[in-house]
């Protein structure tokens, strides 16, 4: 006879005084929503997200909609209209390097500023952080992660790996059961964001309808265009104290035009790798040049030859193989 699974307790209450309730407004009063928005710091968070991420207009619009809903709920509460907090569990789908983790971080910050989350931190995990190797191991692991995430956002990357029906001795189902309980009973103190490829997440939800019903927001992260990735590359380079010469900018764009859509291309991650390789080549070029005397301009400029000069596209990264027939690019 199988012993009953112990009931798990999550998120011990925080010992802190509750803020005083504002005085209820009369029906003929008015509220300045812009003032509430400014006081909460919503514009600051959205502006930071806009600076950090190029493009992603549909994603940013959905975030703005969620922020607007919470602002309006706050305004309605001033008139004594109390409603249950909205369910904000989410699913982020898209290719690697499209900004899902960055958006999750800003979402946690935004929800904290709007009073939906008491802490507003992000705990990012994968299957290995939740699922154990033997009987009795999974529940404590999942409980520990959930307790760390309480008051903030639990971000589960590649969430579909929690479900492995082909393995009869897999314990991912136990972790899913615990997460379902937490998502339902603690939705006012924890937001769970599941992330992964769209097709695999659809399969995951089909096999776990309880999870599907608890996720209110499905947000798709589109792949970046070559133009957007070029802007991302420029931003990354400038944040490191470098700049592209005109020839390097052209070389970067030619590289991206060839690489976008190829296998293993990871959007902004691949751009970051390309920038790092360019820094390596620039450093080696400066050290090996006949004249060792350099100034600030030389130390901070990426030249065309540092991108791809006399090299096959992506030759330094085995995951970025060129298309058949791809040649070399001189700066």
DSSP assignment of 26-50: PTT----HHHHHHHHTHHHHHHHHH
Angle between helices 33-40 and 42-52 (to 10 degrees): 60
pLDDT of the residue at 321: 42
pLDDT at res. 92: 97
Regarding whether 45 and 127 lie in a shared domain, the answer is yes
> Does 315 reside within a domain?
no
Position 152 in a domain: yes
Residue 17 DSSP one-character state: P
Residue position matching structure tokens 């958006």:
103
Q: Are residues 217 and 238 in the same domain?
A: no
Beta bridge partners of 312: 328
Alpha helices in 54-132 (DSSP H): 57-78, 100-113, 127-130
**Which of 190, 221, 252 is at the close of a domain?**
221
The reply to whether 331 falls in a domain is: no
**Of 221, 255, 281, which residue constitutes the final position of a domain?**
221
Per-residue confidence (pLDDT) for residue 150, from 0 to 100: 96
Task: State the CATH number of the domain containing residue 246.
Answer: 1.10.8.60
Q: How many domains does the chain have?
A: 2
Measured N-to-C along each axis, helices 100-113 and 57-78 cross at an angle, to the nearest 10 degrees, of 10
The answer to whether residue 26 is domain-embedded is no
pLDDT for position 215:
95
Share of the chain above pLDDT 70, in %: 86
Closest listed residue to residue 130, CA positions, set 90, 164, 171, 181: 171
277 confidence band (pLDDT: 50, 70, 90): very high
Structure tokens at 177: 């059961």
Same domain assignment for residues 248 and 275: yes
- 258 and 216 part of one domain: no
Work out the average pLDDT over 111-120: 91
Asked if residue 129 is part of any domain, the answer here is yes
pLDDT tens by residue, 12-64? 444 445 556 678 888 889 988 988 888 888 888 888 888 888 999 999 999 99
Per-residue tokens: 160: 């579909």
Residues 79, 145: one domain? yes
- Considering the domain architecture, whether residues 260 and 294 belong to the same structural domain is answered as yes
Residues 246, 160: one domain? no
The pTM of the full predicted model, rounded to 2 decimals, is 0.82
Query: Could you tell me which residues are beta bridge partners of residue 125?
Result: 156
CB atoms within 10 A of CB 168: 6
Specify whether the CB–CB gap between 67 and 46 falls below 8 A: yes
The Cα 261–Cα 205 span in angstroms is 27
Mind listing the pLDDT tens digit for each residue in 188-221?
899 999 999 999 999 999 999 999 999 999 999 9
Q: Based on the domain organization, do 302 and 216 belong to the same domain?
A: no
Q: Sorting pLDDT into bands at 50, 70 and 90, what band is 8?
A: low
End-to-end CA gap in the chain: 73
**Residue 10 pLDDT > 60, yes or no?**
no
pLDDT computed for residue 74 by the predictor: 87
Say what the pLDDT of residue 37 is. 86
Q: Which residue has the higher pLDDT, 14 or 260?
A: 260
- For 267, the domain range is 226-308
Asked if 191 and 246 sit in the same domain, the reply is no
Among 61-75, 142-156, 162-176, whose mean pLDDT is lowest? Answer: 162-176
What pLDDT shows up at residue 325?
37
Domain boundary residue among 189, 221, 253? 221
Q: Is the pLDDT of residue 168 over 80?
A: no
CATH number at residue 60: 3.40.50.300
Q: How confident is the model at residue 167 (pLDDT cuts 50, 70, 90)?
A: confident
190 and 248 housed in the same domain? no
Residue 156 lies in a domain: yes
* Pair 212, 153 in one domain: yes
Mean pLDDT, all residues of the chain: 86
Taking the C-alpha atoms of residue 93 and residue 205, their distance in angstroms, rounded to an integer, is: 12
How many whole angstroms separate alpha carbon 9 and alpha carbon 165? 28
pLDDT, average across residues 219-227:
95
Cα 263 to chain center, whole Å?
Answer: 22
Looking at the fold, whether 149 and 279 belong to one and the same domain comes out as: no
Token pair for residue 38? Answer: 């400014």
| Token reading at 62 | 């959905």
> Has residue 180 been placed in a domain?
yes
Q: According to the model, what pLDDT value does residue 264 have? A: 85
Tally helices (H) and strands (E) across the chain: 14, 7
Alpha carbon distances (Å) from 183 to 90, 216, 293: 11, 11, 61
Residue 20 forms part of a structural domain? no
For 190, the 3-state DSSP assignment is coil
pLDDT higher for 154 or 41? 154
Question: How many other CB atoms are found less than 10 A from the CB of residue 25?
Answer: 14
| Block residue for tokens 């959905």 | 62
């Amino acid at each position: 006879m199988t012993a009953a699974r112990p009931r798990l307790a999550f998120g011990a209450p925080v010992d802190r005084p509750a803020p005083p309730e504002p005085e209820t407004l009369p029906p003929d009063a008015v509220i300045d929503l812009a003032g509430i928005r400014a006081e909460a710091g919503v514009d600051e968070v959205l502006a930071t997200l806009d600076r950090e991420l190029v493009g992603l207009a549909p994603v940013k619009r959905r975030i703005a909609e969620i922020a607007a809903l919470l602002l309006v709920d706050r305004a309605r509460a001033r008139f004594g209209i109390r409603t249950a907090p909205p369910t904000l569990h989410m699913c982020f789908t898209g290719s690697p390097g499209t900004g899902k983790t960055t958006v999750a971080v800003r979402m946690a910050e935004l929800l904290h500023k709007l009073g939906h989350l008491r802490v507003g931190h992000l705990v990012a995990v994968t299957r290995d952080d939740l699922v154990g190797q033997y009987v009795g191991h999974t529940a404590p692991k999942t409980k520990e992660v959930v307790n760390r995430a309480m008051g903030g956002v639990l971000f589960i990357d590649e969430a579909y790996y929690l479900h492995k029906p082909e393995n009869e001795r897999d314990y991912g189902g136990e972790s899913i059961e615990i997460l379902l309980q937490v998502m339902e009973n603690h939705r006012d103190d924890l937001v769970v964001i599941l992330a992964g490829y769209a097709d695999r997440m659809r399969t995951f939800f089909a096999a776990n309808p309880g999870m599907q019903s608890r996720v209110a927001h499905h947000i798709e992260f589109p792949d970046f265009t070559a133009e957007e990735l070029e802007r991302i590359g420029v931003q990354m380079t400038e944040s490191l104290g470098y700049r592209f010469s005109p020839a390097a900018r052209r070389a970067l764009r030619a590289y991206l035009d060839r690489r976008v859509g190829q296998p293993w291309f990871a959007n902004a991650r691949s751009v970051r790798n390309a920038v790092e390789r360019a820094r390596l080549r620039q450093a080696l070029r400066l050290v090996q040049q006949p004249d060792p005397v350099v100034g600030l301009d030389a130390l901070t400029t990426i030249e065309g030859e540092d991108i791809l000069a006399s090299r096959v596209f992506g030759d330094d990264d085995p995951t970025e193989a060129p298309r058949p027939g791809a040649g070399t690019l001189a700066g």
